[in-house]
Every structure is written in C-alpha cells, then in structure tokens.
Amino acid sequence: MEHDFVGRGWAFPLGVTANGTIAAVSGARKLEQAMTLVLSTYPGERPFRPRFGSRLRDFVYESASAVVFARIEQEVRDALTLWEPRTEVRSVTVYPSPDQDHLLHIDIAYVVKGENDPRNLVHPFYTIPDEGSD
C-alpha cells in the first residue's frame, strides 16, 4: 500500500509523455528519484535551500578503502535521514564495481515509513583516479 504522503510529482530528470504532458511519477519510483536528487546535489547549489543535499562529492578523489567506504555510508545515511523523511534507511553498503574501475555502488536498503515492504536503491558513484603527483 502506498501512502498519500509519498505523493506524485514531476519525473526527474524532467521529461514529457507521448501526448506532450510533463512526465510524472509516484510511489516508490518518486522516492528513489528524490533520494537520488539528495545524493546528487551538493549543499549550496540551491540558493533558496543552501543546506539541501549531501557532501558525497567530497569523496570523489578518495581511495577505495574500508575507512572511506564507512565515511560514505555515514554521509549517505545522514543526508537521507535529514532530507528524505518519508523513508527509513535500514542500511547503506558501499562496494566497488567488479566490472568498472573507479565506480562504487552505494546500496541503500530502505522502507517507506508506515509500510513493511523492504526496498533497495543502488546509487552509482564515480571516483576520479589519482594520476600521481605533479
């Protein structure tokens, strides 16, 4: 059952339907788009909501280590707890892609508040390789 508080809104990224209207989403898809938006927005990017977003980009030059993974997991959990109150984050796990260098997968296990339907969102996070010192 999807609660009314999840709502319905424009799709992200913005798109149009076959008949020319603005594409809309609702339910779990809306929540996943909202979570992706939180993780993809850096604080200060939105002039009227300067604290909105996450500092995930701070890790783009970090090495892939257990300590960095733990810091990313905490940043994701903190940002989603603050900015996406319709969900309860159960766990966040960061792991490297087996197929692609410099790609981390952020696996977010969550439930919609008021429901007992566990869901997962895997958010890709690209790092920039260290090319050595200048």
Statement: residue 5 has pLDDT above 70: no
More confident residue, 57 or 22: 57
Say which range, 1-10, 58-67, 103-112, has the weakest mean pLDDT: 1-10
pLDDT attached to residue 92: 97
Quote the radius of gyration of the chain (alpha carbons, Å).
16
For residue 44, the enclosing domain spans: 4-126
Domain count, the chain: 1
Please check whether residue 133 lies inside any domain of the structure.
no
Please check whether residue 131 lies inside any domain of the structure.
no
Please check whether residue 134 lies inside any domain of the structure.
no
Q: How confident is the model at residue 1 (pLDDT cuts 50, 70, 90)?
A: very low
Statement: residue 40 has pLDDT above 90: yes
Q: What is the CATH number of the domain that holds 113?
A: 3.10.450.40
Please check whether residue 55 lies inside any domain of the structure.
yes
pLDDT attached to residue 6: 63
Please check whether residue 57 lies inside any domain of the structure.
yes
pLDDT attached to residue 51: 95
Q: How far is CA 27 from CA 52, 56, 71, 102, in A?
A: 22, 25, 30, 32
Following DSSP, what letter does each residue of 69-123 receive, concatenated?
Answer: HHHHHHHHHHHHHHH-TTEEEEEEEEEE-SSSTTEEEEEEEEEETT----EEEEE
Q: How confident is the model at residue 117 (pLDDT cuts 50, 70, 90)?
A: confident
Please check whether residue 132 lies inside any domain of the structure.
no
Please check whether residue 82 lies inside any domain of the structure.
yes
